Amino acid sequence: MNAVELEKLSYRYGNVRAVEDVSLTVAAGEVVAMLGPNGAGKSTTLLMLLGLLPPATGTVRLFGSSPAAACAAGRVGAMPQAGGLLPRSTVGDLLRFLHDVYPDPMPIAEALATADLTDLVDRTVEKLSGGQGQRLRFAMALIGRPDLLVLDEPTAALDVEARQEFWAAIRRYARQGRTVLFSTHYLEEADANADRILVLDRGRVIADGTADSVKRRVSVRTVSVVLQNFDYSVLPGVAAFAQQGGRAVLTSTDSDATVLALAEAGLLRDLEVAGAGLEEAYLALTRVEA
Ligand SMILES: Nc1ncnc2c1ncn2[C@@H]1O[C@H](COP(=O)(O)OP(=O)(O)OP(=O)(O)O)[C@@H](O)[C@H]1O
């Protein structure tokens, strides 16, 4: 059974089209990253998925049920983007409280260990670092032993080390065959931690597949030549332009056309053409859509 089925979901805030006709399924056991720039519609999609925002059009099914029924059955755990921690409570207080709410919770010691919080059980929330606070939210999301974990930009504002610790905890949980859906701005996070990447832009899914297939979705290449005084962005195929060490580095969705145009403009000095990484593919995808 699919963990998530979204069909033709749309949402508007007044005149702003936040989500447009999004249809997708997530199979049970998949770890899926939802990648997209600011305002792409990630949070709005996740809020509708969780049943916290009624879709303008379309339907959401979680494990074949409505979001409300799946949540009531304890099958869904979520880490929303914003969300306070009850002041003056300790890590242990919050987990004990939630432990008693769910039908089939995991032992508190297991939630603490999975989120690497065992040594902080008596710490009050005001004294937690940013990374520790996020790991507590993660423990709160997973103590109900949910089959589906939904995380909205869980590592925003964390430093590199805290992010690594956080992802190690998520991977421990995913290895138990759970479904995880997370949103992020960080390509490397999506690449390193997800089986599949969805790219959202302006409310639509513009790519869906493995990191490799996202790269192949547009045959993006990096074309570079010695930098000259020229507006490279007007050349055909060029989705992005950067200056690096005296070179013009062009991300191109049609490297043949770009190279031909460079030749015609007399700009072909010390040409290099290379396959591009996920970052360039993503940039090109969102630019091509624009
Ligand atoms: N409460 C709101 N009222 C009005 N417009 C909103 C509201 N929330 C979001 N929007 C708009 O809807 C669009 C989608 O926003 P959303 O927060 O879903 O995107 P996002 O991909 O999660 O962005 P971010 O990465 O910045 O969190 C944006 O244009 C945003 O400005």
Q: Which CATH number is associated with domain 2-215?
A: 3.40.50.300
Q: Are strands 2-13 and 16-27 parallel, antiparallel or unpaired?
A: antiparallel
**Residue carrying the six token digits 């690449």:** 191
pLDDT band at 57 (very low <50, low <70, confident <90, very high): very high
Q: How many CA atoms lie within 13 A of 93 on its CB side?
A: 10
What does the pLDDT read at residue 91?
A: 96
Distance (angstroms) between ligand 1 centre and the Cα of 180 equals 22
Q: What is the 3-state secondary structure (H, E, C) of 32-57?
A: EEEECCCCCCHHHHHHHHCCCCCCCE
Residue of 10, 15, 38 to mutate, ligand 1, most atoms within 8 A of C-beta:
38
What does the pLDDT read at residue 211?
A: 80
Q: Cα Rg for the chain, rounded, in angstroms?
A: 22
pTM: 0.81
In whole angstroms, what separates CA 148 from the centre of its chain?
A: 15
Residue with CA nearest ligand 1 atom 18:
41
Distance (angstroms) between ligand 1 centre and the Cα of 42 equals 8
The 10s digit of each residue's pLDDT in 23-39 is 999 999 999 999 888 88
Residue with CA nearest ligand 1 atom 7:
13
The 10s digit of each residue's pLDDT in 161-192 is 878 888 888 888 888 889 999 998 877 788 88
97 within ligand 1 shell (Cβ under 6 A):
no
What does the pLDDT read at residue 279?
A: 72
What does the pLDDT read at residue 8?
A: 97
Crossing angle of the two packed helices 130-142 and 160-174, in degrees rounded to 10: 10
Helix (H, G, I), strand (E, B) or coil at 163: helix
Range in 1-15, 46-60, 153-167 the model is least confident about: 153-167
36 within ligand 1 shell (Cβ under 6 A):
yes
Report whether pLDDT(288) > 70.
Answer: no
Token digits of residue 171: 């991977």
Residues 6+ away with beta carbon under 8 Å from 205: 22, 23, 24, 198, 199
What does the pLDDT read at residue 272?
A: 95
The 10s digit of each residue's pLDDT in 222-250 is 899 999 999 999 999 998 899 999 999 99
What does the pLDDT read at residue 16?
A: 93
Distance (angstroms) between ligand 1 centre and the Cα of 45 equals 10
Token digits of residue 76: 């869904």
pLDDT band at 160 (very low <50, low <70, confident <90, very high): confident
